[in-house]
A = this chain, B = another copy of it.
C-alpha cells in the first residue's frame, strides 16, 4: 500500500515536467533511442538522460541497451494504473453528486406532495 503510494509519487512526479511529458508523448507514438528523444529539445544530452532515468524509475517507461544505443518504450500498464487512480477519485465524487441529485429530487417530490395536500 505504501509501496503503491510511492509508485504514484514517482509517476505523478515524473509527469509534472513538460519535457518528460513530451518524451512520453513521443514514446506513445513509437519507441525511440535517447538521442532521438533528445533531438527536439535544446538541451544537453545528460539532462535528457536524467529525465529518462526519472521516467524509468517511475515505471512509466522501460529501456534496454542494444549495442551502444538505448531504446526506450512506454509501459502502458503503468500509464493505466496512474490513470485509474484519477478515475477512481472522480468516480467516487460523481457517485456522490448523483446521490445528492437523487436526494434533491426526492425532497422536491415531497414538497410538491405537501403543496397538494395543504
Contacts and interface: CB of A to CB of B under 8 A. Distances in A.
Interface of A: 5, 8-10, 12-13, 15-18, 21, 24-25, 27-30, 74, 76, 79-80, 82-83, 85-90, 92-94, 96-97
Contact of A83 (B30, B74, B86): B86
Contacts of A86: 15, 79-80, 82-83, 86
A10 B17 CA distance: 9
B28 A8 contact: no
28 contacts: A8-B15, A8-B16, A8-B18, A8-B21, A9-B17, A9-B18, A12-B13, A12-B15, A12-B16, A12-B21, A13-B13, A21-B85, A24-B89, A27-B93, A28-B88, A28-B89, A28-B92, A28-B93, A29-B96, A74-B89, A76-B90, A76-B93, A76-B97, A79-B86, A79-B90, A80-B86, A82-B86, A83-B87
B90 A28 contact: yes
